[in-house]
Structure 1
């Protein structure tokens, strides 16, 4: 039997790959061959190099097929890059022809014996009307001599920049080359002076913007203030509406979810950002000031009703909101008005609340406080932070997440994975000879890092909570809908807790937290039906399908398929699915249960059961979370201000529409963005881990300076890559389904289990 070719390996890109198309593809190693894969449609290219990818992204007919999912922005940037290649080739040819018209000049030796060619001097063709050429060449010789005498001084001052003149350095260097550092300094000056947050460079549109400017050449004139407020914004709105129209075309097949992301501003306004989710993407619809509505179920119902009617009743499977009593009442009334849809509480907020409750339990709270004391000390001393980054190969201890609880447990897991590195650091001669290791705070941190009981407790807490953290990241996934996975994810979290703690009296406090948070909004038929219709999990159920799951399936059939004839057909088709007959029983279908997305599996193998397949695809295409993307620096509060000109309010609404939708489109790329736990851009989520407090580990006359820091490297970002595939494919044993809701377990008589797990906690008490 032929051996499997093995999994695809994503190869790192070297710093030499400067073509803009490299930002939009992956280099894949498969069976000892190198391929390029488009980041948007995932098409593999075996030949043609990066130029073929660029043609693919530019949707240029010819050697490569067009990418169906690339954004208009990227498409335009790739086309400009292709056009730039042609323009540069023509300019180079024209330059060579004009240089031939000049009198040939033999390169003169410079003062140190090097020719002008060796010094990197380039002759630039002058217009024919400019005379005489000899004067120009003489000036260039003088420049070369001056450059030779001041070479050392220029190297030392490489990063210093002279005051800007009226036209900047770019206009002054027409026809020549510009040092890359000077370009970076020019970008920095703009960002600093204009007060643009530095994490703006993480935008997926930053590099394409640079590429477009470079392709346009030095004659490009930047858009004016009025251009950006006028035709540029107008065209951007039209472009975004075209993308949204593409999403809408898929709603008939997959259905959609209305997401109501509710949040409170610094001015204590309650705003709701309405979005529409489908597998093709999430679109921002509008923002509403709901300050006077969230306390009234009737007012909230009227608001939700208007949004449902705007999207289209036939397209909507569910409305996802916060899970307060007011929202529940409004949701119940909404489903009475529209009996073909569900109201669903936001799963990410629910799981977040579970993790917050666990943090409040005494064992976890003590462990976390000791872990924070380590990171606070490390991140407030430049010498120690530099040392930690060297010993961890650039990996960060603190990992900013999407919520405080996400940050907490991601950071704890990262620390557990780096415990050997930290132990090596505090045991090294470098640490012992460091001035930072001589005080009481450093000694306390060293003792903590060298404590086996501390790390045992950390490992146990990570084991207990990691499945819940995975559920949190799963429901916020951008790559695939979570509806078919969340029921199994929560069950798996409970099973892991039972196996780790063994004794019922130990794991029941954690189970109670999960059950109370999850079941207080029962029923959740969509999640139960998602589990049932996901072939990866359904065919591993031992015995009869639990009643809770089957009830959820029947609820979905009655509500989402109102026609009785279709309901009867689905009921018959369920038998074929349960028994895996017809196409469901093909060997291909059995293998594909674990490789295809559930919706794709039904689309491929559900042809014999068209009514059930249509329902399954619509259910499995939904999300469970109403959480939107980052809202910082989007002027929602300004838009909802009462003191605003009507026309300007319209313009601001369009600006927010474009800005927020662009962020939603690029969420999957933001997972790989560069971050620094010390940055003010991240401080709101990590202050508990990086800001020192009085008491333990307080600094004593430390003279640390940020200039001394080793800045985070690209390797420190590796841990932040999208882990969706691992989240959705983690295996669990068959027995977990067999014992799905068992509460009576045999208790382990060994009372040392908990002491071994939380020995550190008891020792501190």
Structure 2
């Protein structure tokens, strides 16, 4: 079985071709897609405009047609309801074999489809106490069911309390949220995000609310949020002309180990992230880094930039020289924290302690 549920052609397909002499596709060297098995028995000629429509030729009757896979199926299975003529060259034996092929493909797709797993419930735990989010154990209120004179069962105290607190519904909702984390590979730290809890609090007041779908999150809502953030950052940008800006840049790696370079504009009014560039697979020499920082200088306005701050590695030293040569009013400043870090490493690294014994004795408190 190959990925995507497309196993090698079964014996039933061989029967299709064995029962025809009209040059149907050879099943020995090809693989059938379980979702579109009948594409084996037609030849694609040319892609048509719109959807998945093709101009294709039937391997049985050798006639040409236009349409999607639905018409291919209707043509070969003689369904006669898809706007295409049925194939009169398909023999009864071939028709039976193709019908069997459809059934086999359908069964494989059903077996490969995700299966619904019921959410966990306290009732499934057999004997474990059912405790709500309020910390109340309902088994403390359980009484043996009694019957009235009319033979009807009375509700227990546990039943009344469970209905009042909607314990079962809360349990199912917790299970859905937890499963969203597990199946989506979401970080558990997301539960600490204040927007996560605030969103559920707002939803609890909106009857019938449905959360935004995939397309809304990546298009309209994203554009709306970006515009909102830019409006809130505008007061900081206005102060750049009066107070000047320092551009700080550093390289780092994200959770997926992708190499990134960020640029931050900072002034008395506060810092602002300008960009984070994905440099994965690129050679990060002084010319490439300088071009990235110069683009940020142009975005801020060179007349507003006072200095550029980077670490003091050899590559960044060349970057500073390039920027200073292009913009004489902007000077390069090596990062003080990076400088102190290198100094401490030089003092405290065990192999170098012997050669720096006097310095180490004076600075070992670090």
Q: Into which bin does the TM-score normalised by the smaller protein fall?
A: 0.3 to 0.5
Q: Name the structure, 1 or 2, with higher relative contact order (CA <8 Å, separation 6+).
A: 1
User: When the two structures are superposed, what TM-score results if normalisation uses the length of structure 2?
Assistant: 0.47
Of Structure 1 and Structure 2, the greater strand share is in 2
Q: Considering only CA atoms, is the larger Rg found in Structure 1 or Structure 2?
A: 2
User: When the two structures are superposed, what TM-score results if normalisation uses the length of structure 1?
Assistant: 0.24
